[in-house]
Amino acid sequence: MHRIRFIAQKEFYHILRDFRSLIIVIIMPVMMIFLYGYAINMDIENVSLAIVDFDHSVESQQLTERFFASPYFSPGENEVDMSDPEQLLRSGQVAAILAIPPGFSAALARGEDFELGMMVDGTDASLASAVQAFSNSVLSNFLMDRLPPNFDIPGVTLSQQVLYNPDLKSSHFLVPGLVAVILMMISALMTSMTIAREKETGTMEQLLTTPVKPREILIGKLLPYVVIAFVDGILVLIFARLVFGVPFVGSQLLLLGFGLIYVTTALSIGILISSLVDTLQEATLLAQVATLLPAVMLSGFIFALKNMPFVLQAISYIVPARYFVVIIRGIMLKGAGLEVLIPQAGALVLLMVILMTVAAAKFKTRVV
Amino acid sequence: MNDSTHNSGSAVLINNLTRHFGDFTAVDHISLKVDYGEIFGFLGANGAGKTTAIRMLCGLLMPSGGSGEVAGYDIYKQAESIKKHIGYMSQKFSLYPDLTGRENLTFYGAAYNLRPADLSDRIHELTERLELGEFINQLSGKLPIGWRQRLALAAAILHRPRILFLDEPTGGVDPVFRRRFWSILYDLADSGVAVFVTTHYMDEAEYCGRISIMHHGSIIEQGRPFDLKRQHGTDSLDDLFINLILSQEATRA
Amino acid sequence: MWRGYIGLIRKEFIQIRRDRNMLGIIFLMPIIQLLLLGYAVNTDVKQLDIDIYDFDRSTHSREFVRSFEAGDHFVPEEVISHSNTDPVWELAKRFKTSETQLALLIPPNFSEKLTRNENVTVGLIADGSDANAARAGLGYAGQIVRKYSNHVTGMEVPLEIRHNFLYNPELESVYYMIPGIIVTLLTMVTTMLTSMGIVRERETGTLEQISVTPISSHALLAGKITTFAFLGLLEMGLALAVGILWFGIPFAGSPWFLLWVSALYLLTTLGMGTFFSTITSTQQQAMFLAWFFSVFAILTSGFFSPISNMPIWMQNITLLNPMRYFMTVVRGIMMKGSGPADMIPDILAITAYGLTVFTLAAARFRKRTE
């Protein structure tokens, strides 16, 4: 047991003395929390809009005010140049231009059909469809307000209720998923690198000539990363709570349990990668491609898996992060318990068992 | 490159050359003179300051004090001119391992601004003279160490330098190869090249015309090997070196 | 020193040709990343799962549900018709396991109220944890309900906005993402190659060997930069070809203008790479710094989500990111056909960054090598 402790201690020294690992262990997670929490923000607000009012009526003025009073739109800085109205869009100064043609107030008074025109910058498709939806809703609110009070409109109305994240904040969605990415980065990337480095410098051979058993070496080397992974994971959760106000509805203990399974799976991947390569350089490249990239891209962390082509969806089934992302969101945001998370838990455990078995076999045959 | 104004005089002439790294003085007021056609040996234990001194002479490192001329050019102001007239072979093999010998030489030829026609003649000549043979067309990183050293030497003398600096050129090379290597150095010296070589092999020091012994950044003894042995009453340079170092340590303590 | 400069470039190309890792990084990685990202980085909200709890089961309610099937937005699934469990429990479970994102509840008196020309309220529950999908789902559902309501009551809203989507009428998000991916690739690869390429020479000692030759540090740097700039542009061409031929993205603007701005932008990334090489001593460290820089630059460039969504202080930070400007310009050129006159501030920023970063890096490089 004390041999394991010495190896673990040595590993801690490596981590503390190498600025690369310090970056990955401390600076990267903090930077990622802030960038994903603040910079990746799908909550579309303050879209810059230019309104050209040809009607010059009280009503057109009211509609203009309505648009800018909503949180969705804010006025662009420059006036529209009528000789080339599109210029503002081309240069990206505004995302949309609304034209209120003459006759607007007259048509409104008489209840006649009337059409407003809106030029939308379609380059960012999601922004453009949001602009479409927002402008429609601003307009229908405008019309509703013109109806007499207590007027019961026949037909269907929609009563909306948003669960788990009533303010629809992206950070509530992204930050828990980030735990999955960071745990993967530390457990898989760092361990594959540290084992590859010992192989490259020949110190692994040196260690193996001592009476320490390969199993002890492995446990001793991995232990520090498990500790760091958990510290980072908890750090992210604290930030999530304090900075972004992400709720934690479910059971902490359950999350901890799943965290252990997930980290074990990630460590197995790290060992597997290190057994496939000979140099630190190769380990770094392979680990990034095999762990970090899928954990970000194919886990549903940012991008919906449903929209992807079949091949990518099929690959995503062997990405452990895919299951952990659902689990952590379920527990934190929705208060999901074990009974509803059984499929994800089962898949994750299955992946863990397979990867651990393969990794253990590989480590033995390659090193001993 | 053979401008005649600098043909007379010494190849290397330095006076009180000094270099500090922070509080540490790597080279402490050394003075020496090397002539063309001479093989000058620079001896010292590991960390004595040999490499620092040689790097200052090659224009790789600014001195902290003292003065010096290499090939008649000032080491402070005319480093660029010095570089045209010197060849340098460093301690570790520093050619591109992923290029063949010929590709390495072609590249360094371009670096020294040799004309392509002259360059291919010169490569051919050096291949013969250094007996590189077929090794010239193999990846230099895969060559046995003795051939690598010869290739590095070929790169260092490609442009016919008038002064050749060699920093422990024969580390890790077997005795037969070392003998061959030195005979090439003799040939170079005979043709008028000043050869400035650092080593800690005492048998190699015997081959030098003159040697200087460095210790803790200072030159503690200088002269012809034969004269030095006689002065100190020893039979071998080995004993001389060890005695000198021990007596230095004694006076320091 | 033309001879030395040319010799240097030739040497670089021979080395690259022999290095499998390098060839992989330069040619294979971009294509794989482009294909992967082109499909994965997709912010279109399509095919949202919506559970239907139809407690009315009338002709009207079925017609209402069918209106959700039309279009590409929803995949409705009738829940209570094939489940005998308690609908409340079922609903909670399906949300917690993310089996569905939305649920539509149609009350038992739906048809009755409609025939009596009264107002009836249907319930829509959304899983807000994926804020983006929820927001889009609510928006689409609102439109569908309004349309259905108008249709069934025979009332038409007199006032409408006709939306005219410029540059991307089909609203394909891949058209927007591919130029972004090209920008990130160009940045990552050139920064990484430059910093690693220079540090490798220092690590193996060849930089010292070159330093004793009469090649000036400027020629040395110029040789490296030329090679990596060429590779960067080649790579960009490759990525563009994949984007245009495989993904069918449009190219509205002038290729020459794009080339010209890219060359300006490369000054920044090559300068960054050079700078990283002066503060590291191993290829590993250089690669990490380049990676670290790239992550920061990508996330604050507006690649994934609009900069205008960010908090103001974060928007101010993005002003420091050179990639932000280049991202805008490339998307502008490719999708909107923007010309130099449309993007003066961005081009000025790219130029200023390029010149400053490159000059400082070159000065530092010179100091480090001499």
Q: Are residues C81 and C24 part of one domain?
A: no
What is the separation, in whole angstroms, between the first and last Cα of chain A? 20
Q: What is the DSSP letter of A101?
A: -
CB count in 10 Å sphere of residue C115: 11
A18-22, A72-76, A329-333: lowest mean pLDDT where? A18-22
Q: Are residues C76 and C204 part of one domain?
A: no
User: Quick check: C342 contacting A, CB < 8 Å?
Assistant: yes
Q: So where are chain A's domains?
A: 2-40+168-367, 47-144
Q: Give the amino acid at B91.
A: Q
Give pLDDT tens digits for C278-293.
998 888 788 888 888 9
Of C206, C211, C370, the CB nearest to B96: C206
Contact criterion met (CB < 8 Å) for A42 and C132? yes
Return the CATH number of B36-64+86-252, one of 1.10.3720.10, 3.40.50.1820, 1.10.443.10, 3.40.50.300.
Answer: 3.40.50.300
A36 pLDDT band, cuts 50/70/90, is confident
The closest alpha carbon to A260, from A187, A198, A325, belongs to A187
Q: Distance between CA C324 and CA C346 in Å, rounded? A: 9
Nearest CA in chain B to C216: B80
Query: Measured between CA atoms, how close is C353 to chain A, in angstroms?
Result: 20
A203-217, B49-63, B190-204: lowest mean pLDDT where? A203-217
In this structure, the dihedral spanned by the alpha carbons of residues C62, C65, C69 and C72, taken in order and rounded to 10 degrees, is 170
Contact criterion met (CB < 8 Å) for B94 and C216? no
Give pLDDT tens digits for A84-142.
888 888 888 888 999 999 989 998 888 788 889 999 988 888 788 888 888 888 888 88
CATH at residue C63: 3.40.1710.10
Residues 6+ apart with CB under 8 A from B171: B91
pLDDT of B65 strictly over 50: yes
Lookup result for tokens 């790294």: B21
Q: Distance between CA A274 and CA A284 in Å, rounded? A: 9
Average model confidence (pLDDT) across chain A: 84
Last residue of a domain, one of C153, C185, C210: C153
User: Quick check: A83 contacting C, CB < 8 Å?
Assistant: no
Give pLDDT tens digits for A231-272.
888 888 998 889 888 889 889 999 999 999 999 999 889 888
Q: What is the pLDDT of residue A15?
A: 78
Q: Distance between CA C236 and CA C182 in Å, rounded? A: 6
- The full DSSP string for A264-304 is HHHHHHHHHHHHH-SSHHHHHHHHIIIIIHHHHHSSSSSS-
User: Quick check: A278 contacting C, CB < 8 Å?
Assistant: no
Residues 6+ apart with CB under 8 A from A253: none
Lookup result for tokens 């927001």: C135
Q: Distance between CA B173 and CA A366 in Å, rounded? A: 33
Q: Are residues C67 and C27 part of one domain?
A: no
Structure tokens at B99: 């290029």
The residue that leads in pLDDT, A161 or A138, is A138
CB < 8 Å to C198, chain B: none
pLDDT of B101 strictly over 70: yes
Q: Distance between CA C274 and CA C263 in Å, rounded? A: 16
Query: Measured between CA atoms, how close is C272 to chain A, in angstroms?
Result: 18
Contact criterion met (CB < 8 Å) for A125 and C168? yes
CB < 8 Å to C134, chain A: 162, 165, 168
Mean pLDDT of B6-18: 82
CB < 8 Å to C102, chain A: none
A148-157, A278-287, B23-32: lowest mean pLDDT where? A148-157
Mean pLDDT of C311-327: 91
CB count in 10 Å sphere of residue C323: 28
Biggest alpha carbon–alpha carbon distance for chain B = 60
Lookup result for tokens 């038409």: C156
- Check if the beta carbon of residue A151 is closer than 8 Å to that of residue C156: no
Q: Is the four-CA dihedral C291, C292, C293, C295 of positive or negative sign?
A: positive
Nearest CA in chain C to B57: C212
- Check if the beta carbon of residue C145 is closer than 8 Å to that of residue A136: no
Long-range contacts of B235-242 (CB under 8 A, 24+ apart): B236/B202, B237/B202, B237/B203, B237/B205, B237/B206, B237/B211, B238/B202, B241/B43, B241/B202, B241/B213
Candidates C291, C305, C321, partner chain A, best to mutate (most A CBs within 10 A): C305
CB count in 10 Å sphere of residue C263: 13
Q: Distance between CA C134 and CA A161 in Å, rounded? A: 11
Query: What percent of chain A is predicted at pLDDT more than 90?
Result: 18
**Which domain range does residue C118 map to?**
48-153
pLDDT of B98 strictly over 90: no
Nearest CA in chain B to C17: B98
User: Are chains C and B in contact at 3+ CB pairs closer than 8 Å?
Assistant: yes
Mean pLDDT of A316-334: 90
Contact criterion met (CB < 8 Å) for A136 and C335? no
Candidates A90, A292, A305, partner chain C, best to mutate (most C CBs within 10 A): A90
Nearest CA in chain A to C110: A156
User: Quick check: A249 contacting C, CB < 8 Å?
Assistant: no
- Check if the beta carbon of residue C139 is closer than 8 Å to that of residue A137: yes
Neighbors of chain C with 3 or more C-beta pairs under 8 Å: A, B
User: Quick check: A313 contacting C, CB < 8 Å?
Assistant: no
What is chain A's length? 368
Number of domains chain C is built from: 2
Q: So where are chain B's domains?
A: 36-64+86-252
Q: Distance between CA C127 and CA C100 in Å, rounded? A: 8
- Check if the beta carbon of residue B36 is closer than 8 Å to that of residue B13: no
Question: Within a 13 Å sphere around the CA of A60, how many CA atoms are in the beta-carbon half?
Answer: 20
Identify the three-state secondary structure at position B3: coil
Q: What is the pLDDT of residue B86?
A: 93
Return the CATH number of A47-144, one of 3.20.20.70, 3.90.180.10, 3.30.1330.120, 3.40.1710.10.
Answer: 3.40.1710.10
Lookup result for tokens 């048809």: C111
Contact criterion met (CB < 8 Å) for B112 and C19? no
Mean pLDDT of B71-75: 92
Contact criterion met (CB < 8 Å) for B92 and C205? yes
Contact criterion met (CB < 8 Å) for C98 and A329? yes
The closest alpha carbon to B59, from B38, B83, B95, B39, belongs to B83
Q: What is the DSSP letter of B140?
A: G
Contact criterion met (CB < 8 Å) for B113 and C206? no
What is the separation, in whole angstroms, between the first and last Cα of chain B? 50
The three state secondary structure string of C302-331 is: CCCCCHHHCCHHHHHHHCCCHHHHHHHHHH
Mean pLDDT of A288-307: 83
Q: What is the pLDDT of residue A150?
A: 66
- In DSSP terms, A87 is beta-bridged to none
- Check if the beta carbon of residue C216 is closer than 8 Å to that of residue C299: no
Identify the three-state secondary structure at position A111: coil
Q: Are residues C325 and C176 part of one domain?
A: yes
Q: Which residues of A73-98 are buried (b: 16+ CB within 10 A; e: fewer)?
A: bbebeeebeeeeebebbbbbbbbbbb
Of C124, C173, C314, the CB nearest to A39: C314
Q: What is the pLDDT of residue B3?
A: 42
Give pLDDT tens digits for C327-357.
999 999 998 888 898 889 999 999 999 999 9
Read off the pTM. 0.82
Strands B39-44 and B210-215: parallel
Assess if residue C178 is contained within a domain. Answer: yes
CB < 8 Å to C337, chain A: 90
Q: Distance between CA A178 and CA A168 in Å, rounded? A: 18
Burial class (CB in 10 A: 0-12, 13-18, 19+), A252: exposed
Identify the three-state secondary structure at position A41: coil
Assess if residue C164 is contained within a domain. Answer: no
CB count in 10 Å sphere of residue A201: 11
Lookup result for tokens 């009533």: A166
Query: Measured between CA atoms, how close is C124 to chain A, in angstroms?
Result: 5
Assess if residue C308 is contained within a domain. Answer: yes
CB < 8 Å to A151, chain C: none
pLDDT of B6 strictly over 50: no
Contact criterion met (CB < 8 Å) for A119 and C314? no
Of C42, C149, C164, the CB nearest to A120: C164
- Check if the beta carbon of residue A40 is closer than 8 Å to that of residue C307: no
Nearest CA in chain B to C10: B107
C325 pLDDT band, cuts 50/70/90, is very high
Q: Are residues C149 and C183 part of one domain?
A: no
Nearest CA in chain B to C15: B98
Query: What percent of chain B is predicted at pLDDT more than 90?
Result: 48
The closest alpha carbon to B103, from B149, B141, B136, belongs to B136
Size of interface A-C (CB pairs under 8 A): 316
Q: What is the pLDDT of residue A151?
A: 67
Of A308, A326, A329, the CB nearest to C42: A308
Contact criterion met (CB < 8 Å) for A122 and C169? yes
C369 pLDDT band, cuts 50/70/90, is low
Q: What is chain C's Cα-based Rg?
A: 28
Burial class (CB in 10 A: 0-12, 13-18, 19+), A134: buried
The residue that leads in pLDDT, B182 or A153, is B182
Q: What is the DSSP letter of A79?
A: P
Mean pLDDT of B12-34: 93
pLDDT of A35 strictly over 50: yes
Give pLDDT tens digits for C132-183.
788 888 888 888 888 888 888 777 666 777 888 888 887 788 888 889 989 9
User: Are chains B and A in contact at 3+ CB pairs closer than 8 Å?
Assistant: no
Contact criterion met (CB < 8 Å) for C209 and B94? yes
Identify the three-state secondary structure at position B69: strand
Last residue of a domain, one of C102, C118, C153: C153
Q: Are residues C305 and C194 part of one domain?
A: yes
Range among B150-154, C37-41, C308-312 with highest mean pLDDT value = B150-154
Tell me what ipTM this predicted complex has: 0.83
Give pLDDT tens digits for C81-90.
555 667 777 8
Q: What is the pLDDT of residue A236?
A: 87
Identify the three-state secondary structure at position A249: coil
Q: Distance between CA B134 and CA B139 in Å, rounded? A: 11
